[in-house]
Amino acid sequence: MQTDHGETRVLGTVKWFDPGKGFGFVVADHGGRDILLHANVLRNFGQSSVADAARVEISVQETPRGFQATAVHMILPPVEDTTPPLADFEDMSPEVLAAAKREPARVKWFDKSKGFGFANVFGSDEDVFIHIEVLRRSGLADLLPGEAIVLRVVQGKRGRMATEISSWESAVER
């Protein structure tokens, strides 16, 4: 689909994205050269990162340096998730996890190398634990301190835990 600005909407898969470097690449379903996905374009969608192998719909423009994403319209988490459920959730039914209340929150800190972090739910002093596997299964690769997010939260064996993470903007549109 061609737009007025010489852009084309493309469906593809994230090849890799490095939040530290501020960019990554998307492989279009129709093939061709890799498409640069800059962190600023991702931030305009309301996310600071995206998981490798996530499905995306983006607007693409050809530049002298190659193809670049100019807008993100949709992000879906990676489809092939063969990892077993987290031990903290294995006794909970999928229905209970899916029905968990969505709560607005702000990232307190997240350390990718440690594999976890915490967020504060608005209006509460209690921290919510975020495991890196939950982050990946939600289609994200990293979180930044102060980032606004929406969490599905359950009471786990060790306290309140996120079962799903959404960007603030994508959660507001639902």
Amino acid sitting at position 160: R
Superfamily of segment(s) 94-172: Nucleic acid-binding proteins (2.40.50.140)
- Look at residue 140 in the predicted model and tell me its pLDDT: 84
Could you tell me which of 21, 81, 10, 73 has the C-alpha nearest to residue 47?
73
* Euclidean distance between the first and the last CA atom of the chain, given in angstroms as a whole number: 25
Assign a CATH topology to domain 7-76: OB fold (Dihydrolipoamide Acetyltransferase, E2P) (2.40.50)
Residues 6 or more apart whose Cβ sits within 8 Å of residue 86: 131, 133, 134
pTM beyond 0.75, yes or no = no
165: left (phi over 0), alpha (psi -120 to 50) or beta: beta
Q: Which residues of the chain have pLDDT under 70?
A: 1-5, 80-86, 170-174
- Look at residue 89 in the predicted model and tell me its pLDDT: 72
pLDDT digits (tens, 9 = 90+) for 21-40: 889 999 999 988 899 999 99
